[in-house]
Amino acid sequence: MTADGRTIAFLVGPEGIEQAELTEPWKAVADAGGTPRLISKDSGEVQAFEHLTPADRFPVDVTLDAASADDFDALVLPGGVANGDQVRTFPGAVKLVQEFAAAGKPIAVICHGGWVLVEAGVVDGRRLTSWPSLQTDYRNAGATWVDEEVVVDDGPFTLISSRKPDDLPAFNRELLAALG
């Protein structure tokens, strides 16, 4: 599978990103010839975590106010409880997710990263998975939630979802397939 020439947006909050859910898909995209770009609300760096323990910091490539779905081929929403909770509160993040969905571009989400999908109103009628604590939010937003390693819903835009870091190999495989 290849992502040659593709530019993939990774949208995160300033802290609380589950590190593996950022770095493993990032590496998969880069290894397949794609260009991953980190988007966040502010410039500088974001703080990742390994569960509840602070881990590495990562530089922001593009701020939300400068980001447009037109500049990317797909969107990845890494998890982390604090990350997912923060991202959904940023109007620019909600707007960016809506732009990707309206453009029919793939969106890949893992764990708690999908709260912004609910806020953006793009899950009604869709089938997906997440960390189990989000299932009620998804169902209340009109989605069908399932407990599976990876779910690919090819609705108006391809929606790839997984539950947790253990699911990353399947998640990355489906992300790359959607780019190929």
Hey, which residues are catalytic here? Answer: 111-112
Contacts 24+ apart (CB under 8 A), 60-67: 61/37, 62/9, 62/37, 62/38, 63/39, 64/39, 64/40, 64/90, 64/92, 64/93, 64/96, 65/92, 67/9, 67/11, 67/39, 67/92, 67/96
CA–CA distances in Å: residue 59 to residues 13, 45, 46, 49, 56? 12, 4, 6, 15, 10
Nearest alpha carbon to residue 123 among 109, 84, 132: 109
Give Cα 142 distance to the centre of its chain: 19
| Residue pointed to by tokens 């290894």 | 31
C-alpha span between 37 and 83 (Å, rounded): 17
SS3 content of the chain, % helix, strand, coil (to 5): 40, 30, 30
